Chains A and B, each alone.
Chain A
Amino acid sequence: MLSVKAIRKDFPIFKRTILGRPLVYLDNAATSQRPKQVIAAVNDFYRRHNANVHRGIHTLSEEASNLYEEARATVAGFINCGSDELIFVRNTTEGINLVVWTWGFDHVRSGDEILVTVMEHHSNFVPWQQMAVRRGAVLRVADITEDGLLDMEDFKKKLSKKTKIVAVTHCSNVTGTINPVSEIVRLAKRVGAVVLIDGAQGVQHIGIDVKVVGCDFLAFSGHKMLGPMGSGGLFIKRERQEEMGPFLTGGGMIREVYATHFVWAEGPEKFEAGTPDVAGAVGLAEAVRYHTRLGMRYIRKHESNITAYALERLRDMKDMQIFGPSDVKVRGGVVSFTIKGIHPHDVAEVLNYRGVAVRSGTHCAMPLHDRFRVPATTRASFYLYNDKKDIDALISGLEQAKHIFR
């Protein structure tokens, strides 16, 4: 059991009020809040250890380099990959783009296929669309079932020897659907395809072991997992790294440079051109420690309980349509819904008057909203610091919205 009361004490933002009311933060799928430990780690880096990494002989540079590499080891440990397989990036989007513009462009030829699902975030759609257009490749989109689960029959039908890459989210940022990633990897390997997993909603809520799952790439964002804005990670399996050239080029990613050519560095440095966000990496590692201290199993269980409670309360409301699976075993802490006759923006506005922060719109998932045939939804998403009282505040805000728009 998580002690939410103790956890909330770690998050300074919960001391403030919104329009005179306590903050009820249910927009975690967009970004999380940060605990004081993470803020302190970033602060401490700038106050005591600030220097550039991998350059200087001086003490500070050595300290900064050590902190940076320790951070890499900590974050790598969280997803169970080697330190040399973890690249620091700004966010999931950058991680996916890195794979698209390196491995993707080098391996996808005209007539090849890329397989995604209709529940992907735009950042796992648009880069592949771009590549498909430029390479003359075909982007195929696996459908979902009525319950919002990945339609495995459709997925298998669209997977073939032509498929070079399968790119799929671990957990949908709209329906919370948890995809069977191990099964997806197993099927993809049979046809010789590599697999990228969008872990933006997965690593911090469900947890993932890339060795067990067997994926080739996993991208995730630090800011959605208690870490600093602009921090994130990309796992690239060693074998894949050897097949890849660098992404951005310049300082930091080179071994030797001559007037006419260069030799690139090996390992994660190959993909980290320019001075990295060292404080961001240090903060992200602290965020990882926050999760491991609590235990991923307990975080997942806590969020499952909250989600089950939210689903139960929402289902009791009239004119309510909830999207995604009803079974919390295959659902993360994300619930998107519509209320008949009230636009999601108006729902979010009324909730904001009561200090409740939710998201409204298409949540960077227009293809999925098209699939559901709704222009927009309201989304509540949960994290380790939310409790049932937050859900009660959500429900009473929704009741008020229904009263205003009766």
Chain B
Amino acid sequence: MDLYRDFILDHYENPRNFGHLDHPTSVETLFNSACGDKLTIEVMIETKKPAGAVITDIRFTGQGCAISQAAASLLTEEVKGKAVSAVMALPAGGMEKLLGTKLTASRVRCATLPLEALQKALVKTRGFRVR
């Protein structure tokens, strides 16, 4: 049962960056209607960094399976401090790498939901970035 290794279960049971930001720059909520999952990503972005816009803080909330929750937890750890442009360029396949496992087609959506929510939240801040 390769999928449920200890570190995935650990991220599921003790999710990192779970909760809310006081003043998020952008928020996005996505649903996975087939499974009833719901995931909200909140990001804080600073624009005056040498690398351009950078994610300085991030939180997530929601309900979902072990894979979607662990993926969200891992993703938030991964992107904190990263340039927005780099995060926007992350491919969906990168989530499998973060989870360190191959996913069956039916579970890919669980893993990519957090990334999709994050990228949608970042797209919303485009106006903010040019200002």
- Name A's B-contacting residues (CB within 8 A): 343-346, 349-350, 353, 360-362, 366, 369, 374-376, 404-405
Q: Decide: B4 and A345 in contact? CB cutoff 8 A.
A: no
With both beta carbons as reference points, the residue of chain A lying nearest to B62 in the complex is identified as A375
CB of B120 within 8 Å of the partner chain: no
CB of B67 within 8 Å of the partner chain: yes
Q: Which residues of the other chain, A, contact B65 by a CB distance below 8 angstroms?
A: 343-346, 349
CB of B35 within 8 Å of the partner chain: yes
Scoring A343, A344, A360, A362 by chain B CB atoms within 10 A of each residue's CB, the highest score goes to: A343
The verdict on A376 contacting B9 (CB below 8 Å), with A343-B64, A353-B1, A405-B66 known, is no
CB of B110 within 8 Å of the partner chain: yes
Can you give 7 A-B contacts (C-beta < 8 A)? A349-B65, A361-B35, A366-B33, A375-B36, A405-B4, A405-B9, A405-B66
Question: What's the Cα separation between A40 and B9 when bound, in Å?
Answer: 47
The verdict on A362 contacting B107 (CB below 8 Å), with A343-B64, A405-B9 known, is no
Question: What's the Cα separation between A346 and B40 when bound, in Å?
Answer: 20
Q: Which residues of the other chain, B, contact A349 by a CB distance below 8 angstroms?
A: 3-4, 65, 107
Q: List CB contacts (< 8 Å) of B33-52 with chain A.
A: 33-38
Question: What's the Cα separation between A179 and B37 when bound, in Å?
Answer: 30
The verdict on A346 contacting B37 (CB below 8 Å), with A353-B1, A404-B1, A404-B9 known, is no
- Tell me the smallest distance from the CB of B60 to a CB of chain A, in Å: 16
Q: Decide: A361 and B34 in contact? CB cutoff 8 A.
A: yes
Q: Which residues of the other chain, B, contact A353 by a CB distance below 8 angstroms?
A: 1
Q: Decide: A361 and B36 in contact? CB cutoff 8 A.
A: yes
- Name B's A-contacting residues (CB within 8 A): 1, 3-4, 9, 33-38, 63-67, 107, 110
Q: Which residues of the other chain, A, contact B35 by a CB distance below 8 angstroms?
A: 344-345, 360-362, 375-376
Q: Decide: B1 and A350 in contact? CB cutoff 8 A.
A: yes
- The 8 Å CB contact of B66, one of A346, A360, A376, is A346
Q: Which residues of the other chain, A, contact B33 by a CB distance below 8 angstroms?
A: 362, 366
- Tell me the smallest distance from the CB of B109 to a CB of chain A, in Å: 10
- Tell me the smallest distance from the CB of A125 to a CB of chain B, in Å: 14
- The 8 Å CB contact of A362, one of B1, B36, B38, is B36
Q: Which residues of the other chain, A, contact B63 by a CB distance below 8 angstroms?
A: 343, 375
Q: Which residues of the other chain, B, contact A344 by a CB distance below 8 angstroms?
A: 35, 65
Question: What's the Cα separation between A46 and B1 when bound, in Å?
Answer: 43
The verdict on A366 contacting B9 (CB below 8 Å), with A345-B110, A346-B4 known, is no
Q: Which 7 A-B pairs have the closest CB atoms?
A: A375-B36, A345-B65, A376-B36, A343-B65, A361-B35, A346-B66, A346-B65
**Chain B residues touching A, majority SS:** mixed
Scoring B33, B65, B110 by chain A CB atoms within 10 A of each residue's CB, the highest score goes to: B65
Question: What's the Cα separation between A361 and B64 when bound, in Å?
Answer: 10
- Tell me the smallest distance from the CB of A346 to a CB of chain B, in Å: 5
Scoring A344, A345, A360 by chain B CB atoms within 10 A of each residue's CB, the highest score goes to: A345
- Tell me the smallest distance from the CB of B120 to a CB of chain A, in Å: 20
- The 8 Å CB contact of B37, one of A366, A374, A375, A405, is A375
Scoring A346, A362, A366, A374 by chain B CB atoms within 10 A of each residue's CB, the highest score goes to: A346
Q: Decide: B36 and A369 in contact? CB cutoff 8 A.
A: yes
Question: What's the Cα separation between A361 and B35 when bound, in Å?
Answer: 4
With both beta carbons as reference points, the residue of chain A lying nearest to B1 in the complex is identified as A353
With both beta carbons as reference points, the residue of chain A lying nearest to B38 in the complex is identified as A375
Q: Which residues of the other chain, A, contact B36 by a CB distance below 8 angstroms?
A: 361-362, 366, 369, 374-376
The verdict on A362 contacting B34 (CB below 8 Å), with A345-B107, A350-B1, A350-B4 known, is yes
Q: Which residues of the other chain, A, contact B38 by a CB distance below 8 angstroms?
A: 375
With both beta carbons as reference points, the residue of chain B lying nearest to A360 in the complex is identified as B35
Q: Which residues of the other chain, B, contact A345 by a CB distance below 8 angstroms?
A: 35, 64-67, 107, 110
Question: What's the Cα separation between A252 and B49 when bound, in Å?
Answer: 69
Q: Decide: A343 and B34 in contact? CB cutoff 8 A.
A: no
Question: What's the Cα separation between A344 and B37 when bound, in Å?
Answer: 11
Question: What's the Cα separation between A374 and B63 when bound, in Å?
Answer: 11
Q: Which residues of the other chain, B, contact A346 by a CB distance below 8 angstroms?
A: 4, 65-67
- Tell me the smallest distance from the CB of A363 to a CB of chain B, in Å: 10
Q: Which residues of the other chain, A, contact B110 by a CB distance below 8 angstroms?
A: 345
Q: Which residues of the other chain, A, contact B64 by a CB distance below 8 angstroms?
A: 343, 345
Scoring B33, B36, B64 by chain A CB atoms within 10 A of each residue's CB, the highest score goes to: B36
Question: What's the Cα separation between A369 and B36 when bound, in Å?
Answer: 9
Q: Which residues of the other chain, B, contact A361 by a CB distance below 8 angstroms?
A: 34-36
With both beta carbons as reference points, the residue of chain B lying nearest to A362 in the complex is identified as B36
Question: What's the Cα separation between A375 and B63 when bound, in Å?
Answer: 8
Q: Which residues of the other chain, A, contact B1 by a CB distance below 8 angstroms?
A: 350, 353, 404
- Tell me the smallest distance from the CB of B13 to a CB of chain A, in Å: 8
With both beta carbons as reference points, the residue of chain B lying nearest to A353 in the complex is identified as B1
Q: Which residues of the other chain, B, contact A369 by a CB distance below 8 angstroms?
A: 36
Question: What's the Cα separation between A369 and B34 when bound, in Å?
Answer: 12
Question: What's the Cα separation between A106 and B92 when bound, in Å?
Answer: 48
With both beta carbons as reference points, the residue of chain B lying nearest to A347 in the complex is identified as B65
- Tell me the smallest distance from the CB of B111 to a CB of chain A, in Å: 11
